[in-house]
Chains A and B, each alone.
Chain A
């Protein structure tokens, strides 16, 4: 057989096989050949805001089944909507924060973040006092000897599972003495934890080509992880570095799985989607404080309803010196840094 005949045959084969594919494409069952029922349902799932009633229940059952397979328990996925007359606001006292990173790890535990590769929704940034808030001098990697990413020791795990066990604070170091060399606050430094600023005018939402991320009526910017295509435009648009991408299938041990979830919040994510802080939507929509507020040992974190004139968030905005990060970008964050002294 010479070369020309061989190419003739392969061209004929190619044409007949591609015609077959086109014909087969008319039937969905052939298109999805080899896919499981769950995969097909996930592929054909509607956008969260268009889901209701039976469709929504079906989706939740499917997600719970997926969790059951991965973590041994399905957990419960809440879909409760925003409360009426509630607009969430957050206050963080820069003059009190000591940079201990307990919020970072309490957040990871609460929100089912992947432990490997590790994703931290909160980034605590250290600045030298003489520099002020100058991002050229920012250092999120201070005290590397305290451990790496998700590697917590038993004392630290105990503090996370029982925040009360850290009190009284002045007796703390008998228990969690990870590193006598590096203690925080380090002299002549101050700390600014940065997570999602829950902007009123969010650049990430404008950048999303699929409307997979949007602002809820209570001010929380959320993501439908099943609608996100992983293009990461939102990450490029966010001026605060608050969005994180799942580069790999997130590793989450069944023992670490938090079964109390919200569809728009802490349900486990998959590879190829973006995730971010949701003010612990699964807690705050039930009236609880976010978990970072609960863990903060020095009480630097404040949370409440901006529409309630009696709330602590309104008190601090009205009575303290308030700072908004990158105010000049007109993103209108609902995250207010303040100085109480």
Chain B
């Protein structure tokens, strides 16, 4: 399965925004949430598991997750819904799909959420005067450790002094 299939897959999710912003009537698409391969639906495993809300070192599964996101005040089930693991849970108890995880993030990050809805925080692709594809917060920010990590840059330009034809040498 290619990466594009994994991201968009059969499950392109079209969401109609209900905010009183200009996008209210515009159809907004988000790519599929970037799940690790084979991890969703969560209920595949969790339906059979006993609930354990205790803060602990995870040993059998999810061992790569390092919580660096207000970790002193938070543990898994503050965001993940305990009864139906395929959903997230807002502070008011409302359940939301993973494709709407921006609502969960927006509970604390209000100004950033506002900018995201206006298209100024985060990324949109598509048409400047038409339908756009939004990216979820979790496409760029690891929800468990949201600070952007340094990445490798693409090739650098070369200074003119190493281009002989720019300083009187033969033109290639």
Mark A residues whose CB is within 8 Å of B: 91, 93, 98-102, 104-105, 116-118, 120, 123, 140-144, 146-152, 156, 162-165, 167-173, 176-180, 182-186, 247-248, 284, 287-289, 293-294, 296-299, 302-305, 308, 310-312, 315-316, 319-320, 340
Give complex CA distance A322, B3 in Å.
37
Chain A to chain B: the 6 pairs with minimum beta-carbon distance, closest first: A299-B123, A147-B155, A183-B150, A310-B22, A312-B119, A168-B34
Cross-chain contact B151 with A173 (CB below 8 angstroms)? yes
Chain B residues whose C-beta falls within 8 Å of the C-beta of A312 in the assembled complex: 118-120, 124
Cβ contact within 8 Å between A182 and B153: yes
B125:A163 contact, CB within 8 angstroms: yes
For the complex, is B138 an interface residue (Cβ under 8 Å from A)? Answer: yes
Question: Chain B residues with Cβ under 8 A from A320's Cβ?
Answer: 120
Contact of B154 among A104, A117, A247, A298 (CB under 8 A): A104
**CB-based contact A299/B122 at 8 Å:** yes
Is the beta-carbon distance between A297 and B151 smaller than 8 angstroms? yes
Decide if B154 touches A147 in the complex (CB within 8 Å): yes
Docked Cα-Cα span, A312 to B127, in Å, equals 12
Pairwise interchain contact B34-A148, C-beta atoms closer than 8 A: no
Residue B128 at the A interface, CB < 8 A? yes
Do A102 and B166 touch across chains, with their CB atoms under 8 A apart?
A: no
Kindly list chain A residues whose C-beta atoms are within 8 Å of the C-beta of B165. Answer: 117, 247-248
**Residue of A93, A167, A186 with most partner-chain B CB within 10 A:** A167
Q: Bound state CA distance, A302 and B34, in angstroms?
A: 23
Q: Give the complex CA separation of A184 and B7 in angstroms.
A: 25
Shortest distance from the beta carbon of B120 to any chain A beta carbon, whole Å: 5
Given known A-B contacts A165-B4, A310-B22, A146 and B119 have beta carbons under 8 A apart = no
Taking a contact as CB atoms closer than 8 A, the residue among A93, A117, A149, A303 that contacts B155 in the complex is A149
Interchain CA distance A322-B22 in the complex, whole Å: 22
B-chain residues with CB within 8 Å of residue A305 when the two chains form the complex: 128-129
B130, B153, B156: most-surrounded residue (chain A CB, <10 A): B153
Q: Which residues of B contact A (CB under 8 A)?
A: 3-4, 7-8, 22, 31, 34, 115, 118-130, 135, 138-142, 145, 148-159, 163, 165-166, 171-172
Main secondary structure of the interface of B (DSSP, over half): loop
> Are B148 and A169 touching (Cβ within 8 A)?
yes
Query: Residues of A contacting B150 with CB < 8 Å?
Result: 98, 183-186
Residue of B nearest to A191 (CB): B153
**Can you list 24 residue pairs at the A/B interface with Cβ under 8 Å?**
A98-B148, A99-B153, A105-B154, A117-B163, A146-B153, A146-B155, A146-B156, A148-B158, A151-B155, A152-B155, A163-B125, A167-B140, A168-B138, A170-B145, A177-B152, A183-B151, A184-B151, A288-B126, A289-B125, A312-B118, A312-B120, A315-B119, A316-B120, A340-B121
Which of the listed residues B119, B128, B154, B165 has the most CB atoms from chain A within 10 Å of its own CB? B154
Residue of B nearest to A116 (CB): B172
Known: A164-B4, A167-B7. A148 touches B119 (CB 8 A): no
Please state if A289 and B128 are interface contacts (CB–CB under 8 Å): yes
* A248–B172 touching, CB < 8 Å: yes
Query: A295: nearest residue on chain B (CB-CB)?
Result: B125
**Residue from B3, B157, B166 in contact with A247 in the complex, judged by beta carbons closer than 8 Å:** B166
Residue from A102, A149, A167, A289 in contact with B31 in the complex, judged by beta carbons closer than 8 Å: A167
Q: Could you say which of B126, B140, B153 contacts A168, with CB atoms under 8 Å apart?
A: B140
- Pick the residue among A144, A163, A168, A288 that contacts B156 (CB under 8 A): A144
